[in-house]
Structure 1
């Protein structure tokens, strides 16, 4: 059976090889880096104990360094299920929600036609690029240079110019021996309603070639040079090559950048993608003139399990973000979601980069909001809830939205998060101390202050110790990654620490410095309070492990106690059984008391300095004695 052109490419783009292989193997979590789609496991094709079977999910290929088995998702299903090629395709197509095509005797002919259409598109790319360098393209070049895109950037992005002439491109292509029907089928010309010769679709526009994931030119986007033009941006019509709801601008280069660990950014248009890439954010894409579709979401998740949607900071951008959220809600699953980064009002990523530089953009991305925050803001912003009926309407709206989440586990977590947000919103003291924060106290081994700032220092301490001693990561991965970090930058750094394969501190720091967590690592190294921590000065493994376990235990205990208390208080309005409520509050009080008791017990050997840091009393007494010997009667340890 012959399959129609493009069917297998579409199938491979929709199916995750890691998910297909994951049904047959157990991943080596220490060696695998799930965020990069870089997975390792014992080979399913031969007996072995080591993880020599390598899956590159983003590229869609596997290879075993033991038995040298290799292939893609189709090959894997064919070999493991002992089925034919077509049957393997059928299995994967059903899984991806694609309908198997009927037998097509003209498949080879259609494949040949697609090849010829691709050649027509490449010829058009060359034509437009040449026109940008002519006198007619002077205004287009000036515009691009004014946007920060000089000649080298214009070459990198293959930018071109469509002259104002109505038939210049079609005459050029027919002069190359290309049939008019192929030019029209490629979406480059239209037939005149008045019976005249076909005319060019793009005129007096800056041209952006659109390529598929394999790098083939399939369409164009054109920006009007005339400010009075009715369409500022114009895309190619849908053709045999181009389905705009299933493609993304810059997808191929973004996949390569994602393989280096860069987070995926979804911008609104071509210029935003180019500006981001030129500023160092190479892993970025844009939809093609339409709202994000389900197929595009699946493509995004193949590149990154948690893309960041970075839309313009105007009303239209906010509405677009909400549409993407509503589209994604039924599709999210564990480890697969979205984050949202809204630009300052009236700015897009290109504007922000030119005004404030890459660091401002990086700071915004670090503060990107999860979907649940955006969902909550939509329901409460600009509304009053001064009556029971209005609060009930809020509950109903939230319930209707949550009912669209198919994954039961995720729905429960969303319900919990929204209960927390509702408690903070309706509590009259929510602005001072009722946020759901950690309250870890300074353990004796760490010597850091109490409260929220103490939590941040504990988080910094844990990450510093893990970077100093990478061999401890395997035993602590689950406990660390389950923490709710106060610092979003530290949360990203923690993920990168556990994804990295480096075995030494020097190699680990080199990996982190070259990746998306470089800024967080720099911030961690600037934390001066950590210089007083004995465990960081000591190379003794027992001391380090004790410090790590103590810090993690206190962070977890304080967060757990506060979460239990918050949930119990939230249920005051909902729970009519006094015994249940009393028990919940008692349990929360016990957990809080245990955390306080642990802090007091471990702090007995420490004094608090003026800046809030806990000082080891023995070390302080030793320093006082030394100072007295050096300057009898003169120095003391009080300064």
Structure 2
């Protein structure tokens, strides 16, 4: 019998799959602000109420309530089960679906050990930058490049000292298991024929490469003497794949809550130098050419990418290669532009010369992809002659045909029509008959899409959900899509949807945490919640545990996790409904962000739980806190006053007195 599909594979598959591509392959989507809209494929309607949010990788219908991630959509639309949907998405991504067996469990543990050994290596390098006798060379280099200690800390810059076996001894420590992990993690060079093993990074400044969860997966190293190569990257390992990872993306996401634009530069120092000047949205590939995987990842976090190249011949060639890779990714709603710097300049030198304001002005003047495309296509062609126009059409056809169907493709067809004098409608068929090399390579392996306009199985549609607690201030959050400007749809659907999706305080904090998983770090006191038998609170705590264990999860990943572990349960459907709350635009008080909304709702919830418990139980819970806050100490005083003169309460008073004395001693 086939084993379970690893959750790590499902997470990776969702990261590689864009819900807009998945849905648009089956129904026609139109851009509507930040999201996409269509008539819902799951119920009959004349005006669109079906919304796909690319940033959340989530879909939701305001008419019938259907919602979920890319996996859920494939299950509902193609009428397939969970495993089949995974296999279909994996086929689109060119992946094989692994199955967990004992061997797979060992592999998962080995990956965890690799992450751990790489983090130990990172800590060692950072320590050497501070303490090693020879670190002055590295520190002086960083200072001469104008980098502050703050930005060096932000990017985790370290130092690999001279010598052959510093890391090997410090982290490997004669442990064969650790030495093997260092080798598999790319930190050692092994020459079995000579029975030699030594550090890969020696006398170099080190730059940790982090994945989207912030885990160290590899390193880059910049030499500090005349050794070669000048820059050295970790080799491919089980956790590091150059064609998928980007330097600086994790750091950009940590600094910016909304990334309106990303800048693609050529190296580590360009990314770090721009960050030094307050430009935190730069990324770089890792010693490899741009790939489709890179772009798919980038367009999950931003809608605009600016390629920043040197203006020399090498920079132009790199730009041409990037253009070819970018064209198949140019769906409606995303854009690419090209900025060519003067010869001899790079982002690092330029930002120091003209400052961040000047650099941003240069970015604003970057050449749109369409202009650069036609500039390349028409190079050396006399477009005033019939022969030249025919040649231009032949050159342009495969390039335009590689662009996904949509408005941008139509605009490029119109531009080609204007340049050649051929009607756009005639060009449409001509272009469609020309395949780019990339299209020819993938045509044979692309799985056939399963199209169906029939209703999904009843279990695929979330049931109506409206439970709430009485006398709860947070139950006043009533989500009505007609108030959110989400588009027009039938009045009957509006009335059905107005069925007061009221949320209890527990549901409200669950919805916020689901939509903004980073809020998990704000949850401190959870003793009262853990004692509660409320199923809504139990769901919140289970969600909190999942998010804390997987800080990179988006709502789509969380839903996939629940579908994989709980199936099409009522709990899964509740989470789908709560994940759509942000699409329903929950009301917010002016000047308050999600953090404050969450903290206030959490505080209200804690107070409500405390009021429902006897004073003695509350005191025992407070006394279990190792280091009490001022608010908790005040609460103890307040509870002290409520105690009676009974023997049991007198015993509690003694406990409180001792506890407060210990707290004062600790401070």
1:33 aligns to what? 34
Query: 1:4 touches 1:110 (CA, 8 Å); kept in 2?
Result: no
Matched positions, count: 427
Structure 1 residue 293 corresponds to structure 2 residue 325: no
Query: 1:332 touches 1:407 (CA, 8 Å); kept in 2?
Result: no
SS at the partner of 2:194?
coil
Task: Tell me: CA distance 1:422–1:85, structure 2 relative to 1, closer, same or farther (3 Å).
Answer: closer
1:251 aligns to what? 249
1:487 aligns to what? none
SS at the partner of 1:153?
helix
1:186 aligns to what? 185
TM-score with structure 2 length normalisation?
0.55
Q: How far 1:411 sits from its partner (Å)? A: 4.4
Query: 1:244 touches 1:288 (CA, 8 Å); kept in 2?
Result: yes
Query: 1:53 touches 1:63 (CA, 8 Å); kept in 2?
Result: yes
2:121 aligns to what? 124
Task: Tell me: CA distance 1:420–1:175, structure 2 relative to 1, closer, same or farther (3 Å).
Answer: same
Task: Tell me: CA distance 1:191–1:378, structure 2 relative to 1, closer, same or farther (3 Å).
Answer: same
Q: How far 1:216 sits from its partner (Å)? A: 1.1
Query: 2:393 touches 2:416 (CA, 8 Å); kept in 1?
Result: no
Mapping 1:69-148, distance limit 5 Å: 72-74=69-71, 77=74, 83-101=80-98, 104-134=101-131, 135-148=133-146
1:313 aligns to what? 311
Within 1, Cα distance between the matches of 2:30 and 2:384? Answer: 54
Task: Tell me: CA distance 1:175–1:44, structure 2 relative to 1, closer, same or farther (3 Å).
Answer: farther
Deviates more, 1:1-10 or 1:370-379: 1-10
Structure 1 residue 366 corresponds to structure 2 residue 364: yes
1:239 aligns to what? 237
SS at the partner of 2:300?
helix
Within 1, Cα distance between the matches of 2:106 and 2:180? Answer: 16
Task: Tell me: CA distance 1:383–1:502, structure 2 relative to 1, closer, same or farther (3 Å).
Answer: farther
SS at the partner of 2:196?
coil
Q: How far 1:121 sits from its partner (Å)? A: 0.4
Provide the aligned C-alpha RMSD in A: 4.4
Q: How far 1:401 sits from its partner (Å)? A: 4.1
Q: How far 1:405 sits from its partner (Å)? A: 4.2
Instruction: Flag structure 1 segments of 5+ consecutive residues without an equivalent.
Output: 424-470, 476-498, 511-639
Q: How far 1:76 sits from its partner (Å)? A: 5.7
Within 2, Cα distance between the matches of 1:96 and 1:145? Answer: 44
Query: 2:309 touches 2:341 (CA, 8 Å); kept in 1?
Result: yes
Within 1, Cα distance between the matches of 2:42 and 2:254? Answer: 28
Query: 1:63 touches 1:71 (CA, 8 Å); kept in 2?
Result: yes
1:551 aligns to what? none
- 1:599-623 deviations in Å (ceiling 9; x for gaps): xxxxxxxxxxxxxxxxxxxxxxxxx
Task: Tell me: CA distance 1:199–1:68, structure 2 relative to 1, closer, same or farther (3 Å).
Answer: farther
2:157 aligns to what? 159
TM-score with structure 1 length normalisation?
0.58
- 1:421-479 deviations in Å (ceiling 9; x for gaps): 679xxxxxxxxxxxxxxxxxxxxxxxxxxxxxxxxxxxxxxxxxxxxxxx9x999xxxx
Query: 1:160 touches 1:207 (CA, 8 Å); kept in 2?
Result: yes
Instruction: Flag structure 2 segments of 5+ consecutive residues without an equivalent.
Output: 422-482, 488-582, 594-667
- 1:488-524 deviations in Å (ceiling 9; x for gaps): xxxxxxxxxxx9x999xx99xx9xxxxxxxxxxxxxx
Query: 1:245 touches 1:296 (CA, 8 Å); kept in 2?
Result: yes
Match of 2:9 among 7, 10, 15: 7
Q: How far 1:169 sits from its partner (Å)? A: 0.3
Within 1, Cα distance between the matches of 2:357 and 2:94? Answer: 41
Q: How far 1:17 sits from its partner (Å)? A: 3.7
Q: How far 1:290 sits from its partner (Å)? A: 0.8
Q: How far 1:375 sits from its partner (Å)? A: 2.1
- 1:20-78 deviations in Å (ceiling 9; x for gaps): 57899999988x633xxxx8999999999xx9999764454679999999975445655
Query: 1:224 touches 1:232 (CA, 8 Å); kept in 2?
Result: yes
Match of 1:407 among 405, 412, 418: 405
SS at the partner of 1:3?
coil
Within 2, Cα distance between the matches of 1:260 and 1:388? Answer: 48
Task: Tell me: CA distance 1:285–1:82, structure 2 relative to 1, closer, same or farther (3 Å).
Answer: same
Q: How far 1:201 sits from its partner (Å)? A: 0.8
Task: Tell me: CA distance 1:59–1:252, structure 2 relative to 1, closer, same or farther (3 Å).
Answer: farther
Within 1, Cα distance between the matches of 2:50 and 2:413? Answer: 39
Within 2, Cα distance between the matches of 1:90 and 1:474? Answer: 33
1:546 aligns to what? none
Query: 1:53 touches 1:62 (CA, 8 Å); kept in 2?
Result: yes
- 1:76-107 deviations in Å (ceiling 9; x for gaps): 65577775432332232234343333675521
Within 2, Cα distance between the matches of 1:251 and 1:175? Answer: 33
Q: How far 1:398 sits from its partner (Å)? A: 3.7
Task: Tell me: CA distance 1:340–1:232, structure 2 relative to 1, closer, same or farther (3 Å).
Answer: same
Structure 1 residue 222 corresponds to structure 2 residue 221: yes
